[in-house]
Chain A
Amino acid sequence: MAPVPTPLRDIAKIVRSKNAGPFEITLDIVFKTKEDFEAVKKSGVITKELVSELYNVPTQAIITFGFFDLVNAVKITLPRPRPQGGVGETDMHAAQQHVPLQEIRVPWPAP
C-alpha cells in the first residue's frame, strides 16, 4: 500500500516542549521503536530548515538539532523568543510550544 502523509502526533510516543533554563526552549520527539525512529530519520522530512521555518528562527541560531540513536529521539533546542517570565510572556514553562512539530507530516504506511 502506498504511504500516506501522517502527522507525527500519530507516530511518536512523545512530542513536547519545555524551558531549558530561562533563555532556551527545548523540543523532544521520542519514538516508540527504533524502526519508527529510523523510518522518520530516513524520510528526510525533519530538517533544520523545517524547524527554522516553523519556529521563525534562523538556522544558525538553532542551538541543538539532532537525531539521537541511543534514545530514539529528535532533540531541538532554540533560543527563547523572550527571557522566561518577563513582560509579554505567553508560556512561562514553554510547555505548549510543541504543536507545530505534532503537525509535521511524514510519509507513512496507511493504517
Chain B
Amino acid sequence: MAVSSNDEIRILTPAGMLGYGFPIDHLKMGLALKPHAITIDAGSTDSGPQKLGLGEMTCSRESYVKDIEVLLEAQHEVRVPLLISSAGGDGTNLHVDVFRDIIAEIAARRGWRFKLAKIYSDVDKAHVSRELKAGRIEPLGPVPPLDQREIDAATVIVAQIGAEPFNKALDESEGIDVIVSGRSYDPSPTAAMAIRAGFDPALAWHMGKIMECGALCAEPVGRTVMGWLRHDHFEIEPINPAERCTTASVAAHTLYEKTHPFRLAGPGGTLDLSNCKYEQVTDRRVRVSGSRFEPSTHYTVKLEGAKTSGYRSIFIAGARDPIFIGQIDEILTRVIAGTRAYFKEVPEEAYRIIPHLYGKNGVMGDLEPVRTPAHELCIIVEVSAATQGLATAICNKTRTSLMHAPYPGRIATAGNLASPFTPLEIPLGQACEFNVYHLMKVHSPTALFPIQVEEIA
C-alpha cells in the first residue's frame, strides 16, 4: 500500500455520489496523479426517509455494481485504499452487506483479491433507550425531543461514523484494500486518511467537506476532483480540463446544503471557516488555508432513523374549465367534507386527504405569493390511511365526488376532471417519516462501530 510522503497526501474522489456514474477517462487521469487513496460517498438523506424506513437504497443494485466494478478495477491497478462510505445511501448494516456481496461477486468474476474492512453503524435500540434515559441525547436543530415511542417506531437507527473508525480499521489490519462503511459523516473517509498521515485535522476536515461532493466546487460543476493536502494548506482541482476551481467557487461551496456557511458541526467538533484564505494557484486550482477545528467538550455522533406512517394512494387529474378552476378551493372543501361524512366510521385523525394544486400553489403551498391560478390545473390528491385498501377507497371516493361535484354556474355537466392515467387511483405503498435526527454523546468515537475484516477472493 502506498503511504503518503511526509509533505503531502493526495486524495482522489471520482464523484460526489456513488451510483450516479462518472467519466472513466477522468478517473484514469486522476489515477495518473498518484493519489494515496480514493474516496467516494454513497450517502444522503436528501432523497427521502423511505431508505431508512423501508430498507431501500438510493440507487438500484445494478447502478452500484457498475460504479463499484470501475472503482475496484482502479484499486486493483494502483493498490491504494478505496474508501466507500454510507453504503446504499442510508448506511444500514443491511446495505453494508449488500455492498460486500457486490464486491465479492465482482472479485469472483474478475479473479481479483481484496482485503476488505466493513464498518457497521446500526445502533441497538435498547442502547439508544438507555442513553436517552441517561440524558445523553438531544435534538439536532428544529426536531422534537426523542422519546421511547419514536425509538420503538423507527425501523432502524444508524449513527454517523467519524474519522476514528476508518483509522482504526486501517491500523488494526495491514494492507486493507477496500473499506465499506455504514452511515458516515460525508467528509470522514478523506479526513481520516489525512489525519492518519499526520496532517492538521482542520485542513483534513475542510478538504473532506469539499471533496465529498466531487467537483461540485468547480465552475461549471463536475464530478471528479483531486485534493493535495500539505502541512499548512490544501489545494483542490477538478480533473475535467473543461472545469476550473476559482477562489469564489471553492469559498462558496460550503454554502451548499449547509445550515451555516462557516460553522460546520461534525463528529467530535466544529469546523470554523470564517478566517479561511483562498488563493488562485493556477487557472484551475485553488489553495485553501486558515481552516480551524474546535473539538467539542463531549464527542457526539448524529443518530438518524425513520419510521413508516401508514399507506398512501393518490389520484392525478387535470382541470381546464375556468368556471371550475375559479371555485376550486370551495369545491374541494365540500368534496372532502362529503368524503369524511361518508367514511364516518373511520376516526377523523386516522386518515388524511391532502390536495396538491399545480398551477395554483402545488409547489409552495400557503407560502405561494401568486394568488391567481393558471388556465389549467394539475390536481393530485394524496390520501394516507392505515391500510392500502382504505387509502385507495378514500381516494376513489374523493376522486369520483370531485369528478361529478356540482358548483354554481356549472355548464359542463358531464364531468369536472381530465384523467390521464389508469389506474385512476394509484397506490403508493407505505409512507415514511424521519423521526430520529439527534445528537448522542459517546465515551468513545469508535465503540459504536464494529469493524470486520475479510479476505475476498
Interface residues of A (CB under 8 A from B): 14, 18-24, 26, 28, 30, 54-56, 61, 63-64, 68, 70-73, 75, 77, 79-81, 83-88, 90-93, 96-97, 99-100, 103
Contacts and interface: CB of A to CB of B under 8 A. Distances in A.
Contact of A70 (B141, B251, B260): B251
A83 B434 contact: yes
Given A84-B45, A88-B354, A91-B363, A75 B261 contact: yes
A84 B364 contact: no
Interface in B348-389: 352, 354, 356, 362-367, 369, 382, 384
Nearest to A28: B255
B268 to A, nearest CB: 18
Given A56-B367, A61-B142, A99-B364, A84 B49 contact: yes
A87 B431 contact: yes
A30 B434 contact: no
Given A19-B257, A21-B259, A90-B364, A85 B433 contact: yes
14 contacts: A19-B45, A23-B437, A24-B141, A54-B369, A56-B367, A70-B251, A71-B254, A72-B248, A84-B45, A86-B432, A86-B434, A90-B364, A93-B46, A99-B369
B403 to A, nearest CB: 23
Nearest to A64: B260
B185 to A, nearest CB: 12
Contacts of B444: none
Contacts of A97: 363-364, 367
A73 B354 CA distance: 36
A20 to B, nearest CB: 5
A26 B258 contact: yes
Contacts of B141: 21, 23-24, 63, 79
Nearest to B273: A70
Given A26-B258, A70-B251, A71-B261, A90 B434 contact: no
Interface in B251-283: 251-252, 254-262, 274, 276
